[in-house]
Structure 1
Amino acid sequence: MTAPTTEATGIRRASWVPMIGLFLAQILMSYNVSALPVSLGGMVDTFGVPPTDVSTAIVTYGLVVAALVMVGAKIGQRVGWVLMFRIVIALFAVSAVLMITAPTVGFVILAQALAGASAAIIVPSLVALIAENYHGAQQATAIGSLGSARALAGVSAFLIGGTLATLVGWRQVFVVVLLLAVAVFVLSFRLRGEPGNRGIKIDLVAAALIGLGIVALTLGVNNLNRWGIVMARPDAPFDILGLSPAPLLMLIGLVLVQLFFLWTRRRTKAGKVPLVSLSVFGSSRERAAVYAMFIVVGMEAALNFTIPLYIQIVQGRTPFDTSLAMLPFNLTVFITAMLVVRFYRRFPPRTIGMFSFGLTTIALIWLAFVVTNNWETLPTILGLFVFGVGQGALVTLVFNVLVTASPKELAGDVGSVRGTTQNLASAVGTAVAGALLVGILSVNVISSLAEHPELSPELVSQIDLDRVNFVSNDQLKSVLDEQTDATPAQVDAAVALNEEARLNALKLGLLILSGVSAIAIVPASRLPRYLPGEIPESVATGREPTT
């Protein structure tokens, strides 16, 4: 029996069973990442180590993925995508077993390094295998499902992982990872793919440049808040004439990334195979899609950091409460990412992109004015819903533009660009949000002291305002009672000041984020303005359109 075909194009429709495996593979990676913060408290109790030791595992995973994803794409092209996909899924299963049986935190870090190395090949393989197994409208739908899978995995990790970690234990959270890996491995035998090209050489110089550059950038951005944005803070491992090492690492990373592009252009002109084809960035459309993807993922990471910060730290509530607060956003992203492909035949990517960034901008401005220290209010839920609609549309759209703008043989390169961009943007979004909110909070606290004369200079001198951070009211009261000679009236005044400063920091942070979203309309205006089936010959051949 032959597969059905579409009347418009005559393209034979492929079975969706292989896509179920690819969909679950995206959930596998996203669930693993989301499950780590949920399990942090349990690991701290089990291993008897500080939270910073456990958080090293989270950083390790992201660093390994971002540093190796371009190399992973070339390995997949050389060996063959289906074979490499099965191998790395099996390795991911091994990492889950290590997590379940880990006797020390060192094994947890090792497990996440192994998971990150596996994900560095899974990320580009998903794009390549979709390109090899699906075409036309099916391909657009398949690509959209990857974006929705990330949102679904985030909800599942908080709901399922949070419940398991609370009722059974943190190790059982990663039993789910193992079961997912086994399911994906079984379904991988329904995939078809072309054999690998043994003639492909891996550019080790480019691999070192981009790997070290991404590591330096990620470490620098992730430690902006802890080490200092400009001047070195007490937690910085070292300083350079009093300056923080974080911006220096960022500068080194940017230089290494620029050297990577220079080296790749030189290698391409010499007729050699580069680590990643720069034709993925060859036109303003592709570059606009990459810029838009960076901003989209960065905004999502910033919001995913901000909400748990207020619910778990400020309000002192559980991860389960956080998942409920995030439900309107994550479910909206999931549903929109699946449905937005239906609009591709009616509206060009440029229109959808600009409209979606407009939605996220309006939603963030709305949230900045209506948000309180309670995330369960109807106006706040409405703002998260609107932001989720824009976010879900964008995360699918920009990825689809990159895939459809490049020939099938570059699908692995598109996947590696996607992986690098998403991991770097996630780190930047989280770190900048943290540094921004804490910085605004510090300024707000200092400026608000004049409005509270009952807080005497003697009391203020007992508090290190250079280390102001987000704390719950109970924690603040405990610190004031134990470490200062504050009277009950002064404690109440300090709590009121902190509540006001926190809320103002949140509002201003959301306004700044809305400004970033508004600026993103500029690269969105450079997205393609043609509908599927109307791609001009100039675009198909890689030249800029003249109209």
Structure 2
Amino acid sequence: MTATDVAATGVRTSWLPLAVVVLTQIQASFAVNALTVSMSGITTDLDTPASSVGTAITAGTFAMAAFILLGAKVGSRFGSRGVFQIAVAIHGVAMLAVALSVSPAMLFIAQASSGAVIALIAPALTVFIATNYHGPQQGRAIGLLAAAIPAAGVLALILAGWFATTIGWRWSFALMVGLAVINLLLSFRLKRVPAQPGLSIDWTGAVLAAVAVILLSFGFSGLSTWGVWLATDQAPFDILGISPAPLLVIAGLVVGQVFFSWLRRRGREGKPRIFDLRVLATGSERAITACMAIMLFVGTAANFLIPLYIQVVQGRSSIETSFSIIPYTLSIFLASTFVASLYGRFAPRVIASTGFVVVAAALTLLAFTVRGEWSQGFVVAGLILLGLGQGAIVALVFNTLLSAAPKQLAGDVGAWRGLVHNLSGSVGIAVATAFAVGMLSTMLLSGAEDHPEISDELIAQVNLNEADFLTNEQLAALLASRATGPELDAAIAVNAEARLQALKVSLLGLAALSLLAIVPATRMPGRRRDELPEKLEPDDDDPIDPVEHDDPLDLADRDLADRGLAGGGLADGTEARA
């Protein structure tokens, strides 16, 4: 049945494939959130510092981002369903290894393995949606896929937090093993996507992509601890006193440019590429990617700053923090789910521009209303608005990018989405941390100079250039041997004011970035395709690659189109145009 017939008759595709997609996304996302929530239990059980848990989380994220472009091609080469099933099974085994971990090394290896196989899973999820759903149903399916990530976050906050305080943190990952078994069994009811046995994998491109992502990820992650420019004592090395962080970022950008040059060269030579640049063939598609990257940057940065505010400024516990941000996470879920209902009434550029205005307004509201009490109505309202705008934009940009690409490139779209998601997220957290800490240092120095009761000796003893967010109790313990009485009280007061102001300025900075995102948002398409095009169309700047074009999946689709059976094909076999 064609997409046109579906629209006319109202008959819809079964939601079973979507159930598998959503449950698998929850399986992949829950694990990372559960590690964060379970940090205290893990550090106690494995007798390891919290930094080692953070290293394990980072290892999984980097592995996923580094190999996701390769994962898309592996799925195309050997068949998306088969590769997906193997990856889900391996991910379940990795979760079992996490649950049974007896050392930090075992935890690290298990989490890195799970990240690597998610690089195989993520592109397959997009392929399943592209091959099973069409038109408005496809829009809702993509919205639910986007909503699965915040849904996994809510489940992790509730279930993992509850398990960690009752029966133990290991049961969170045992639960993911059970979910992996369910997803594996359900996947056998998915229809097969034809493999492309003649597809050659561009290994050089895969290596360049992995190297660029790893350099950028480590570089941005090291900004706050190794130094934005000058190296700190925590830096593993320095070059003429310069921090390795900016050097790694520059190296990553250079390798990234080499990667895209390599892809263009392979395209001109008619050879297979690890990533098909036709996903980004037009200015509107590049604008969609820019909107996606900015929203994920802003969203992850805010998601870091908000818990920082709750735990450090307010001094709340981890479980209290988890429940405090549930309204924000739930609003992301709801917006991701229901934004598809707006596709028929408003253009993508209108929805995206409005969404960024809502996000900027929410962040501004938070910046001017945050105080010491989380129950304040304006703060909760700001969080809900932030979640609504963020969820709508993330679902919209993914949906619009996928609907603009031929079905044959669905795996590349899914891989690109995963790469942008992880890289923008890690960069958002790193830059937000460096900016907030930098603002804190400046405000601490200014505040100390405005309080004569704080001596110059105390200012000299405390290195304000390496300031960090501390609670009042932590600062009192740090200064116990250096200050007493009025001087200690003044130092605590200055710290309380400086950290609150630093967080406010950071939120306003994110609000300004959200407003700047309106520029690429206005370049998004004026309308959204209701159906994926069946054929790869040439682009003047990136000519069709005959090797990739004439693959078995494309030939099969054209054969179906000739008989009027392909999704989006018309009864007489002509191509459906948006």
TM-score grouping bracket, smaller chain normalisation:
over 0.9
Alignment of 1:48 onto 2:47: yes
Unaligned runs of 5+ in 1: none
**SS of the residue aligned with 2:414?**
helix
Looking at structure 2, the residues matched to 435 and 6 of structure 1 have their Cα atoms a distance apart, in angstroms, of: 54
Q: What is the RMSD of the two structures over their aligned residues, measured on CA atoms? A: 2.1
On the 8 A contact 2:130/2:532 being kept in 1, the answer is no
Q: State the match for 2:551 in structure 1.
A: none
Looking at structure 1, the residues matched to 469 and 131 of structure 2 have their Cα atoms a distance apart, in angstroms, of: 48
Q: State the match for 1:282 in structure 2.
A: 281
Q: State the match for 1:355 in structure 2.
A: 354
Looking at structure 2, the residues matched to 268 and 540 of structure 1 have their Cα atoms a distance apart, in angstroms, of: 14
Query: In the TM superposition, what are the counterparts of 1:414-429 in structure 2 within 5 Å?
Result: 414-429=413-428
Looking at structure 1, the residues matched to 7 and 145 of structure 2 have their Cα atoms a distance apart, in angstroms, of: 26
Looking at structure 2, the residues matched to 114 and 75 of structure 1 have their Cα atoms a distance apart, in angstroms, of: 17
**Deviation at residue 41 of structure 1 after TM alignment:** 1.4
Query: In the TM superposition, what are the counterparts of 1:266-415 in structure 2 within 5 Å?
Result: 266-415=265-414
**Deviation at residue 506 of structure 1 after TM alignment:** 0.9
**SS of the residue aligned with 1:271?**
coil
Deviations 1:418-444 (A, max 9, x none): 011000001010001110110000000
Alignment of 1:527 onto 2:524: yes
Number of residue pairs matched by the alignment: 541
The amino acid of 2:394's aligned partner reads V
**Deviation at residue 187 of structure 1 after TM alignment:** 1.4
Alignment of 1:183 onto 2:182: yes
Q: State the match for 1:174 in structure 2.
A: 173
On the 8 A contact 2:297/2:428 being kept in 1, the answer is yes
**Deviation at residue 30 of structure 1 after TM alignment:** 1.0
Deviations 1:442-499 (A, max 9, x none): 0000011122111111222222222210011111111111x31x12222211111111
Alignment of 1:514 onto 2:511: yes
Q: State the match for 1:156 in structure 2.
A: 155
Looking at structure 2, the residues matched to 182 and 175 of structure 1 have their Cα atoms a distance apart, in angstroms, of: 11
The amino acid of 1:425's aligned partner reads S
Q: State the match for 2:574 in structure 1.
A: none
On the 8 A contact 1:3/1:14 being kept in 2, the answer is no
Q: Percent identity?
A: 42
Alignment of 1:239 onto 2:266: no
On the 8 A contact 2:3/2:135 being kept in 1, the answer is no
On the 8 A contact 2:454/2:491 being kept in 1, the answer is yes
Deviations 1:110-152 (A, max 9, x none): 1111101110011111101111111111111111011111111
- Name the CA shift for 1:493/1:50 in 2 (closer, same or farther; >3 Å): same
On the 8 A contact 2:347/2:526 being kept in 1, the answer is yes
- Name the CA shift for 1:268/1:538 in 2 (closer, same or farther; >3 Å): closer
Looking at structure 1, the residues matched to 275 and 410 of structure 2 have their Cα atoms a distance apart, in angstroms, of: 11
**Deviation at residue 534 of structure 1 after TM alignment:** 10
Deviations 1:244-301 (A, max 9, x none): 0000000010011110100111111111111110011100111011111111111111
- Name the CA shift for 1:85/1:533 in 2 (closer, same or farther; >3 Å): closer
Looking at structure 2, the residues matched to 539 and 411 of structure 1 have their Cα atoms a distance apart, in angstroms, of: 12
On the 8 A contact 1:3/1:13 being kept in 2, the answer is no
**Deviation at residue 374 of structure 1 after TM alignment:** 3.1
The amino acid of 1:160's aligned partner reads L
Looking at structure 1, the residues matched to 10 and 214 of structure 2 have their Cα atoms a distance apart, in angstroms, of: 43
Looking at structure 1, the residues matched to 533 and 165 of structure 2 have their Cα atoms a distance apart, in angstroms, of: 56
TM-score after normalising by structure 2: 0.90
On the 8 A contact 1:133/1:193 being kept in 2, the answer is no
**Deviation at residue 11 of structure 1 after TM alignment:** 7.1
On the 8 A contact 2:404/2:529 being kept in 1, the answer is no
Alignment of 1:86 onto 2:60: no
**Deviation at residue 10 of structure 1 after TM alignment:** 4.5
The amino acid of 2:315's aligned partner reads G
On the 8 A contact 1:32/1:177 being kept in 2, the answer is yes
- Name the CA shift for 1:383/1:399 in 2 (closer, same or farther; >3 Å): same
**Deviation at residue 153 of structure 1 after TM alignment:** 0.7
On the 8 A contact 2:60/2:115 being kept in 1, the answer is yes
**Deviation at residue 541 of structure 1 after TM alignment:** 6.8
- Name the CA shift for 1:537/1:24 in 2 (closer, same or farther; >3 Å): closer
Looking at structure 2, the residues matched to 132 and 298 of structure 1 have their Cα atoms a distance apart, in angstroms, of: 30
On the 8 A contact 1:328/1:384 being kept in 2, the answer is yes
Q: State the match for 1:503 in structure 2.
A: 500
The amino acid of 2:75's aligned partner reads G
**SS of the residue aligned with 1:190?**
coil
Looking at structure 2, the residues matched to 113 and 355 of structure 1 have their Cα atoms a distance apart, in angstroms, of: 38
Looking at structure 1, the residues matched to 468 and 20 of structure 2 have their Cα atoms a distance apart, in angstroms, of: 43
Looking at structure 1, the residues matched to 262 and 160 of structure 2 have their Cα atoms a distance apart, in angstroms, of: 44
**SS of the residue aligned with 1:45?**
helix
Alignment of 1:25 onto 2:24: yes
Alignment of 1:213 onto 2:212: yes
The amino acid of 1:454's aligned partner reads E
The amino acid of 2:269's aligned partner reads A
Q: State the match for 1:114 in structure 2.
A: 113
